[in-house]
Structure 1
Amino acid sequence: MDFKLFFFIVAISFQQCLSVVIKVENLPEQCDYSQCPKWNKNDINVHLVAHTHDDVGWLKTVEQYYYGLRNDIQRAGVQYILDTMIEELIRNKERRFIYVEIAFFWKWWQEQDEDQRMIVRELVRTGQLEFINGGWSMPDEAATHYNSLIDQSTWGLRQLNDTFGNCGHPKVTWQIDPFGHSREMANLYAQMGYDALFFARQDYQDREHRMANRTLEHVWQGSDDLGIVGDIFTGMMFSGYGPIEFNWDITNGPEDAVVDNPDSEEYNVPDKIRRFVEKAKYFGNFYATNHFMFPMGTDFQYTDAHTWFKNLDKLIKAVNGAGQGVRAFYSTPSCYAHALYESNRTWTTKTDDFFPYASDEHAYWTGYFTSRPAIKRMERMGNNLLQACKQLDVLADNNGRYEMNITRMREAMGVMQHHDAVTGTEKQHVAFNYAKMLDAAMTQCRHVINESYRKLFPSQTEQHQFCPYLNISSCPATEMGESRMIHLYNPLGHRLVNRTIRLPVKDGYYYQIRNQYGNTIPSVLVPIPEFVRKIPGRISVANKELVFRVPIMESLGITTMYMDVTEKKQPYSAVEIEGEKFNGNEGIRIQMQDGLIVEFDSNGTISTMIRNDQSISISNEFRFYRGADIGRHSGAYIFRPSEQKTFPVNRKKMEATLYIDRKFGIVQQVHQQFDSYVGQIIRMDEKTDYVEFDFVVGPIPVNDKIGKEIITRYSTNLENDETFYTDANGRQMLRRRWNYRPSWKYEIQEPVSGNYYPVNSRIAIRDVGKSLQMTIMTDRSQGGSLSPEQINGSIDLMVHRRLLHDDYFGVGEPLNEPGVDGHGLVIRGRHLLLLDQVEQAAVKHRPLAQEMFMEPIISFTPFQSSTIMNNRNYMGLKKQLPPNVHLLTLEQWHSKRYLLRLEHFYQRFEHPEMSKPVTVSLRHLFNSFEIIAVEELTLGANQPISTLKNRLHYRYIRPLDDERQQQSMSIESDPIIVGENFDIQLVPMQIRTFLIDIKRN
């Protein structure tokens, strides 16, 4: 059937359209590069990309954006965009459109009847509608962890794969709005099989440098460890992601319509052609080929797609008929990437990242690394719970019974990765909505965990109680003066040893901890500091914490302990610790594991750390920046202090109290009160070799009408040559240098904010003389740097912000969180400080970072002291994984099929042993089932691994050594899976994804 006739019929009658679609639905797929528009090598070829950028929450909530509510805030309704876009694609087969945010598309798809779905499938099959990126949201790249990044991409890609098959596989990714770009994100996208990555935000100095050198497009080498497997072609849009001058959107399009009737007095085609040709030739000054991509659309545009497409049709016809050496056509980012590939040129490369991002000399987008610290922590806890929920669902063989519960959590976490969600750059009412959504999903996930326990332990009939407010030392299950069974699930593939547990309890009772065999475990009671007890919203009768160690938690294991509560003292009741005030006369020395010594001065301030007879001076204090209130303000996005220095928090002398358990050594801690709004517990467990800093900050006082940004500073006498290291999304460690950019000669206007970087997991400095490394690990994403007052030897981490002015980048309100009581947000957080020899740092820090990220899930059930104890322990793995291998994913995928990801989580050259390749046998990995078939997939789990060989490999200058190329070739040529035990090999930083079939034992 002639396509023109087909589309004419469709435009005339919706019912007739349906019948035509049925007739043509068996046409061969035309969604590969062969369907891309034809171009002329002698002309300037302008790829017009019709698109909409639909934030999954920002100024309005997800639901408000989708349904078009609260238009007094912003005129936007995603359902209407998708409705009218589909109608307009039907009208003309030359038209194309791309869509990105699957959270919105999937919501719309579920509301469509089968007739409409058939139309959409046909548009996808013929390449008119193309999905780009395909993640659940367009994720942030600074405040996100790689586990959640992979999950949100995987979930979006699965919906597309299940619905559209091969044509639902996005070929390129489109990160047009995130505020800076991560090297690890490029690495992950390459392993997902994308051919190219395009984005619109880059540092203004970097952009100007690349425009002058025509290197806006290049190959980004995303990994030093994986070679070409981690490389991805990358393109920057120097004019942003909005329309290039021409904007016909019905809501905010300033452009006059194209009047192509020469008899009309408003005839304006010559002017349109002139402006378009001038713009195309202007682009030629900055790009390396005669292909340019013009994005035609922006935030929430195409609500009335007819206005856009009608004018684009006329513009294309006019330009192509003008004979001025410029061709225009509907295209997509993937077709543009393919055209650049076919140009067969050699591209430059990049190996660093795109942080920090500055849009002008006073606008460094580094504040959002810390903005809304409470929701950043909640997101981190959400991922922890989701992984445990998915794992236990598989181990208990729930067989899809609770798929809807898990899906709700998957989708909530997918939304949280959005670049206006976890970033903290949304309006306050949207932040409340995100928290509400995530909390409801976490409740669903806890239900799955409860039911999985019942399946694993059939004799258990009790409902599990969870304590989501343990972070503020509140837990009704442990505060009622009743005995409880304590259930701990370890979601790691490695055994945990001597893990310390703290449970809030109330006075008037005696407490005893026993293991599953009835043996008593040493425990102590320590007071909860007043600054914790007074956290707004804390509903608790507990004034003490019961502290004990769990000797062993097996890999993917459930450990059961017993808390006996009695009104009479028992022989092994918990020992109560009394506080000792520092009196200014003498300090203390505390010995910890592996010979680490920590000293405090007579005022209760940490002063010295000693490792292997090497002593360093160290101090810790809280300080603040004053947010700029003139010109460019500090706000949700921007960090801009009014002065390039900090001010001390404490207005009075710090008060410190020492608590030491001299019998068991479980508790060695100092409580510090800095001011009315900052308190801290410093803990040193003799079974660990790190120092824990547990702090409470807020509400930040603003009675003086000055917004404040609170940092905690760790100062030493180490000489780090103005160099420090931060993680990329919890994986690679990247080298940073004060006032330096690897890609261009950096001119600094804001010395403090221009040196801040995202810290998702850890930040470190290394002494050039003593070979010592100090590392600080974080419990959420934060901004970090060296101290401007002490560039050598110090680490600053921003932990909280409260500001009184908007930064004028769209939010329209200051970052002034009200908190529970309306007087300002109070947050509680943790840092771990480690001091090690550089060569030993990696072997300790990477496992510890995983332990901090994937904490045990604790729940409680009733227990009578007289009840006979049952062994309710469980071990999911036959034996723990090798020490350099992490179980990243275990979840039911489709009926009777499961998704498994394993990763080697060390980098090359980090450690002589841990950085070696490692072999894992999959068949007998788990206790409750045997793996009987394995299919390897790409990282996004939507294509066979073999498709990676079909990626577009762009020619580029190879500045790195031959060893890197040798490494990458070995990854591609090694056997995928060998032997009857399904042996696989993992090399440093490699993640492998498998779809497995199992047989239950």
Structure 2
Amino acid sequence: MGIGNCDSSNSRLNQVINSTMRSSRWLRCRPFSNRFLIVSLLAIAFGLYCCYYNVSTTSFSKQGNNNANERVIALKHIRAPESVKMEQCPVVRESVAEVDTVSVFPTFEFQPNWLRTKEFWDRSFEERYEKTKNDSRRPKLKVIVVPHSHNDPGWLKTFEQYFETKTKNIINNIVMKLNQYPNMTFIWTEISFLNAWWERSHPVKQKALKKLVREGRLEITTGGWVMPDEACTHIYSLIDQFIEGHVWVKANLGVTPKIGWSIDPFGHGATVPYLLDQSGLEGAIIQRIHYAWKQWFAQRQIEEFHWMPGFSSTKPSLVVHNQPFDIYSIKSTCGPHPAICLSFDFRKIPGEYSEYTAKHEDITEHNLHSKSKTLMEEYDRIGTLTKHNVVLVPLGDDFRYEYGIEFDAQYVNYMKMFTYINQHKDLFNAEVTFGTPIDYFNAVKDRSANIPTLRGDFFVYSDIFSEGKPAYWSGYYTTRPYIKIVARQFEHQLRTAEILFTLVSNYLRQSNKHMFESSERKLEKYYEQLISARRNLGLFQHHDAITGTSRASVMYDYGTKLFTSLYHCIRLQEAAITTLMIPDSKLHTQSILQSELEWETYGKQPKKLQVSIVDKKTIVLFNPLAERRTEVITLRSNTTNVRVYDTYNKNYVKYQITPNIHVQENGKFAISDVNFDISFVAQLNAFSIVTYKLEEYTNHTQHCTVFCNNCTEQKGDSEKPNNFVIKKMMPGNIQLENNIMKLLVDRNTGFLRQIYRKDIRKKNIVDIQFGAYQSAQRHSGAYLFMPDYDPPEKDVLGPYSKGNNQDENVIIVSGPVSTEITTMYLPFLVHTLRIYNVDDPALSHGIYVENIVDFENPPKNRDTEFYMRLQTNIQNGDTPEFYTDQNGFQYQRRVKVDKLGIEANYYPITTMAWIQDSETRLTLLTNHAQGAAAFEPGRLEVMLDRRTLYDDFRGIGEGVVDNKPTVFTNWLLLEPINERAKADANSRVSRHFNERRFNTDTAPIYELPSRTADFLSRSLNYPVNTYIVDTSEVGDVEVKSNQEFLENFPPGIHVLSLRTITDEVLEQFPSSSCFMILHRPGVSCDIQDGMPKPTASFTSNSKFIGLNINDIASVSLTGLKTYGNLTSLANITLNPMEVKTYRVRF
């Protein structure tokens, strides 16, 4: 045995010697010989390689020592344009990483032997610990204990209730006790709470807190307005709440956040790390990931990684740290054994009894050694989960440290042990201190050179620590869809208000006209409400808000806040547009413009205002997208005698008159003779305001034809002729068609069965079905989704169906603009399919799907998980795969894990999902967050609503029974895949090879939505804003026909926001600068559609109309760091998928 080892060693030694000799021969070469030239080229290449990666090296610096790191970020940012792909349809490749979650996750053992013990720490981990603890080569154990208090801005109580009863006292204690204990530290994450405390605190306390921050003893982590959810949030809202928090921190505390702290969201995705990296943060800490991932990382001693986005990009500077155990409470953070960790929670409040008070034992001279030894053994065990032997130990829990005596108890007891351990290096060989996350990352940087890369995400999250068996947190993707939809609609209205405020207020200021002074002052008054709206939207991104996982009373409080701010945003829009479009400045203070949607109260759907035609009625439209669009605008009217005039192009436009139908007591459908819908085709340029007029005109050719077996026309005047032709439906299945496609609809159900694409002569089965899973009682709730597998899926429509006479509940309405079919299972479901007869490549290719769902009052439809299912003949694999968006920003391939049930194969979507094979793709676009699955081949399924009678034992203590009538809107696209385009893309990528991008030429093409899907998704989430000119109080009013704001802006660039920056001196007042946040969405070139290829190039002719730009600077995503000044918009460049922020001063 020994001889074999010796021979092996000699052999290796000889290999090294021979290799060295060969290398030396290469170096002994004549000048300008071939050998010399080759060596020189290799040396130059190696030097460039080292230079680049030296610039890209992650650096963790203490707050205040930022210059070097900012130079690094600036260099990286300046270099980016070298590799910018400016083609109209550039190839985007998948990122390459050492760990791919999609590939690794299905290989796990999901029912390991340790499951019932709830601890992955088994004999193998203990043996590794025993082996390494005496290894003299191993770095000394370094432990950083981080006191923290997790403060939810709403959960069991409202934001205000928590602040008054808990959080106010916690922050007061931080200020007082950290001054009392000079070597204690703390962190704070939720800026929404910190702002509430700041506004109510004495300047002396404010200065004391700033001093702690400046010293680095109180670290501001993440710095967002909240700790956001990562599954249900949309990119606009995520960025907006980060900006609101970061700007507040910089303005009030004078620092920039360095480390992210995201310990409570229920699963983690790649978007938030990307945004934090773009914001200049250096590290991030995550907590809740699947129990099998916890074990896998621990086995491989991986607790840090660079998280790559799904698309090819340079390696992020941000380092992500995964906390190795279940949750962030002291019970689970001091080591792998919760029973031991409980005894190291020294909180003892009179009258309070819990599992940790039962084990409470203060540190005394009698137990100091034994307790220190036990604690260090646990810390040592954590250390063996990494190679660097640095340990981060959070010390806190929900709303901890609200009592000063807890601060005292935790500090005094831990300091006794820390002092003893640090003084007895012969016994422990460790260093233990209080610290903050930046201390941890600095220590890791000093010891760890090679941090691996990871791509993918950590959805679906599953815990086992509650019951000792897997529980999948996929229910909250869908829970309370009504408020999820309201939040997205509010996001749209806030974004529109931001854009209009920035453009109009600066236009008024630069015009320098006396007549605009009152208008300018009026807009300034709205700015305070705009700030409040930003903060209310930010508050709702909290991981117990947009998820729907707070108590019903708290959700109602969130909803009323959203409605209040939504109202203010619409009033701001009306005032801004009035100022621009009404030439008579004396009328600018009047409420002349009114939004055509009326938002009455939370819990109800918005209503359309009825347009009363008296001679002429003026309609004003605003396009909030920076791209030209064609839209069908629908208004509510009291007459059918009307036509629509485009005042800018000076022509009459295509329109139709559609009946309003309601159900009578006898069950028959009545066509109203006083309410009608006018739908007309409008064309709008980027960021433009246009005016249309409704004129009285009699022309029945624009009236729709109604096909219905159960309809009558309701007439107040029996002498009056019918407004609409009503026909009986012909026998057999129903067909709807336009010039692009033909839909086959089942006559008995009213649901889609088949789509035939006439332009490519291809037929596909697309069978829409509705059903529900029976909830597993007490295992399915606000957070968890768990179906009861014993009974079959529920036929929820059966009780609402007319059986063989269901076609009596089917209505077809056909007109020159659109054709639609509506089927009713009243009051539970009203389902509508609509296709457009419009010469537009987007509208004509899409199928508009609307579902109005009403669960009625409980106990009806109890324990119901209601879905819409699309069953197709698309061959997406025997082990099905599909694609989901992530936060409306990037896209992720999902592969069914056969070992797991449907609850573990449901994934979050926020804007879209699709299935595809080599020939066809089916895409479903949505306007809110919900769960989606592809559990069987050819199937795409989305959850619509959920009612669970019982709690799922994850904290809120109640079921979800506050369902509200909800309108779901979707686009459905069936698109052919161009295989030749894919082949061409593979050849093109070699011509755009970039060696800095981790050999991405070998990576697969990154699957992206088609141009049509990308455009319709934005149109769905950011619809045209419609306003009615009310002249009832002021008489005839002149209205401009058109106002445009952009010229030669590239349509391939999406303007995420134009966000006015608050004045540095005058709080609550606007400055003349804004953050212009741009996103270049990636689109697939493999899908055949008629959409033009969007350019992403700014030119010297790109400008804001009527506005002069004084200066423009490239800044970090949240605007805290300036990278450099630009001479004009023409200098802006973005790679596909990239998001960048520019500070523009008008």
Give the TM-score of the pair, scaled to structure 2.
0.73
Name the SS for the 1:579 alignment partner. strand
TM-superposed deviation, 1:160: 0.5
1:838 to 969, 977, 984: 977
Please state if 1:99 is matched with 2:230: no
Name the SS for the 2:883 alignment partner. strand
Instruction: Describe the shift of the 1:445–1:583 C-alpha distance in structure 2 as closer, same or farther (beyond 3 A).
Output: closer
TM-superposed deviation, 1:858: 2.1
1:432 to 544, 556, 567: 556
TM-superposed deviation, 1:89: 1.0
Alignment of 1:198-217 (within 5 A): 198-217=285-304
Alpha-carbon distance between aligned partners in 1 of 2:661 and 2:438, rounded to the nearest angstrom: 57
Query: What residue identity is the alignment partner of 2:956?
Result: V
1:723 to 861, 873, 881: 881
Name the SS for the 2:550 alignment partner. coil
Alpha-carbon distance between aligned partners in 2 of 1:204 and 1:532, rounded to the nearest angstrom: 55
1:684-706 CA distances to partner (integer Å, 9 max, x unpaired)?
Answer: 11222111111111225764784
Instruction: Describe the shift of the 1:562–1:704 C-alpha distance in structure 2 as closer, same or farther (beyond 3 A).
Output: closer
Query: What residue identity is the alignment partner of 1:627?
Result: S
Please state if 1:327 is matched with 2:496: no
Check conservation: 2:833, 2:848, Cα contact below 8 A: yes
Query: What residue identity is the alignment partner of 1:437?
Result: K
Please state if 1:813 is matched with 2:958: yes
Alpha-carbon distance between aligned partners in 2 of 1:863 and 1:509, rounded to the nearest angstrom: 21
Residue aligning to 1:785: 933
TM-superposed deviation, 1:562: 2.8
Please state if 1:357 is matched with 2:461: yes
Name the SS for the 2:149 alignment partner. coil
Residue aligning to 2:372: 273
Instruction: Describe the shift of the 1:42–1:867 C-alpha distance in structure 2 as closer, same or farther (beyond 3 A).
Output: closer
Name the SS for the 1:647 alignment partner. coil
Check conservation: 1:525, 1:544, Cα contact below 8 A: no
Instruction: Describe the shift of the 1:331–1:269 C-alpha distance in structure 2 as closer, same or farther (beyond 3 A).
Output: same
Instruction: Describe the shift of the 1:135–1:473 C-alpha distance in structure 2 as closer, same or farther (beyond 3 A).
Output: closer
TM-superposed deviation, 1:609: 0.9
Check conservation: 1:221, 1:228, Cα contact below 8 A: yes
Instruction: Describe the shift of the 1:598–1:259 C-alpha distance in structure 2 as closer, same or farther (beyond 3 A).
Output: closer
1:622 to 751, 770, 793: 770
Q: Compare the two structures and name the one with the higher helix fraction.
A: 2
Instruction: Describe the shift of the 1:396–1:526 C-alpha distance in structure 2 as closer, same or farther (beyond 3 A).
Output: same
Instruction: Describe the shift of the 1:800–1:239 C-alpha distance in structure 2 as closer, same or farther (beyond 3 A).
Output: closer
Instruction: Describe the shift of the 1:939–1:778 C-alpha distance in structure 2 as closer, same or farther (beyond 3 A).
Output: same
Instruction: Describe the shift of the 1:608–1:340 C-alpha distance in structure 2 as closer, same or farther (beyond 3 A).
Output: same
Alpha-carbon distance between aligned partners in 1 of 2:432 and 2:933, rounded to the nearest angstrom: 46
Please state if 1:285 is matched with 2:285: no
Alignment of 1:229-308 (within 5 A): 229=316, 232-243=319-330, 244=334, 245=341, 246-250=344-348, 254=356, 259=362, 262=365, 267-304=366-403, 305-308=407-410
Of residues 58-67 and 205-214 in structure 1, the stretch that sits farther from structure 2 once superposed is 205-214
Check conservation: 2:626, 2:1054, Cα contact below 8 A: yes
Check conservation: 1:511, 1:574, Cα contact below 8 A: no
TM-superposed deviation, 1:316: 2.0
Residue aligning to 1:139: 228
Check conservation: 1:516, 1:870, Cα contact below 8 A: no
Check conservation: 2:529, 2:568, Cα contact below 8 A: yes
Check conservation: 2:657, 2:676, Cα contact below 8 A: yes
Q: Determine what percentage of the aligned residue pairs are the same residue.
A: 23
Alignment of 1:882-901 (within 5 A): 882-893=1050-1061, 894=1063, 895-901=1071-1077
Alignment of 1:921-940 (within 5 A): 921=1099, 924-940=1102-1118
Please state if 1:54 is matched with 2:148: no
Residue aligning to 1:19: none
Instruction: Describe the shift of the 1:916–1:226 C-alpha distance in structure 2 as closer, same or farther (beyond 3 A).
Output: farther
Check conservation: 2:143, 2:431, Cα contact below 8 A: yes
Residue aligning to 1:20: none
Query: What residue identity is the alignment partner of 1:524?
Result: Q
Residue aligning to 2:656: 524
Alpha-carbon distance between aligned partners in 1 of 2:664 and 2:67, rounded to the nearest angstrom: 63
Check conservation: 2:914, 2:922, Cα contact below 8 A: yes
Query: What residue identity is the alignment partner of 2:629?
Result: L
Check conservation: 1:776, 1:832, Cα contact below 8 A: yes
Alpha-carbon distance between aligned partners in 2 of 1:892 and 1:421, rounded to the nearest angstrom: 26
Alpha-carbon distance between aligned partners in 2 of 1:792 and 1:393, rounded to the nearest angstrom: 49
Residue aligning to 1:691: 847
TM-superposed deviation, 1:258: 7.1
1:585 to 710, 713, 731: 731
Alpha-carbon distance between aligned partners in 1 of 2:810 and 2:441, rounded to the nearest angstrom: 62
Instruction: Describe the shift of the 1:571–1:835 C-alpha distance in structure 2 as closer, same or farther (beyond 3 A).
Output: closer
Instruction: Describe the shift of the 1:780–1:614 C-alpha distance in structure 2 as closer, same or farther (beyond 3 A).
Output: same
Check conservation: 1:259, 1:269, Cα contact below 8 A: no
Check conservation: 1:883, 1:914, Cα contact below 8 A: no
TM-superposed deviation, 1:977: 6.5
Please state if 1:423 is matched with 2:571: no
Alpha-carbon distance between aligned partners in 2 of 1:706 and 1:503, rounded to the nearest angstrom: 37
Check conservation: 2:654, 2:681, Cα contact below 8 A: no
Alpha-carbon distance between aligned partners in 2 of 1:914 and 1:89, rounded to the nearest angstrom: 61
Alpha-carbon distance between aligned partners in 2 of 1:409 and 1:532, rounded to the nearest angstrom: 41
Query: What residue identity is the alignment partner of 1:163?
Result: N
Alpha-carbon distance between aligned partners in 1 of 2:484 and 2:271, rounded to the nearest angstrom: 19
Check conservation: 2:282, 2:318, Cα contact below 8 A: no
Alpha-carbon distance between aligned partners in 2 of 1:242 and 1:444, rounded to the nearest angstrom: 40
Residue aligning to 2:621: 488
Please state if 1:575 is matched with 2:751: no
Of residues 339-348 and 143-152 in structure 1, the stretch that sits farther from structure 2 once superposed is 339-348
2:812 to 647, 651, 659: 659
Alpha-carbon distance between aligned partners in 2 of 1:288 and 1:544, rounded to the nearest angstrom: 72
Higher Rg: 2
Unaligned runs of 5+ in 1: 1-27, 69-76, 535-539, 741-746, 818-823, 946-975
Alpha-carbon distance between aligned partners in 1 of 2:1038 and 2:699, rounded to the nearest angstrom: 19
TM-superposed deviation, 1:601: 3.9
TM-superposed deviation, 1:484: 4.3
Alignment of 1:851-870 (within 5 A): 851-863=1019-1031, 867=1036, 870=1039
Of residues 892-901 and 573-582 in structure 1, the stretch that sits farther from structure 2 once superposed is 573-582
1:112-162 CA distances to partner (integer Å, 9 max, x unpaired)?
Answer: 222222212211111111100000000000000011100100110000111
Name the SS for the 1:896 alignment partner. strand
Residue aligning to 2:832: 681
Query: What residue identity is the alignment partner of 1:876?
Result: F
Alpha-carbon distance between aligned partners in 1 of 2:224 and 2:251, rounded to the nearest angstrom: 14
Check conservation: 2:221, 2:259, Cα contact below 8 A: yes
Alignment of 1:446-465 (within 5 A): 446-457=570-581, 458-459=583-584, 460=587, 461-465=590-594
Unaligned runs of 5+ in 2: 1-60, 69-136, 335-340, 506-519, 710-727, 982-1008, 1064-1070
Please state if 1:378 is matched with 2:486: yes
Check conservation: 2:346, 2:361, Cα contact below 8 A: no
Instruction: Describe the shift of the 1:456–1:715 C-alpha distance in structure 2 as closer, same or farther (beyond 3 A).
Output: same
1:162 to 231, 251, 260: 251
Alignment of 1:841-990 (within 5 A): 842-863=1010-1031, 867=1036, 870-879=1039-1048, 881-893=1049-1061, 894=1063, 895-906=1071-1082, 918-921=1096-1099, 924-945=1102-1123, 982-990=1130-1138
Check conservation: 2:769, 2:869, Cα contact below 8 A: yes
TM-superposed deviation, 1:873: 2.2
Alpha-carbon distance between aligned partners in 1 of 2:433 and 2:733, rounded to the nearest angstrom: 75
TM-superposed deviation, 1:903: 1.6
Instruction: Describe the shift of the 1:692–1:628 C-alpha distance in structure 2 as closer, same or farther (beyond 3 A).
Output: same
Alpha-carbon distance between aligned partners in 2 of 1:250 and 1:448, rounded to the nearest angstrom: 52
The number of residue pairs the alignment matches comes to: 888
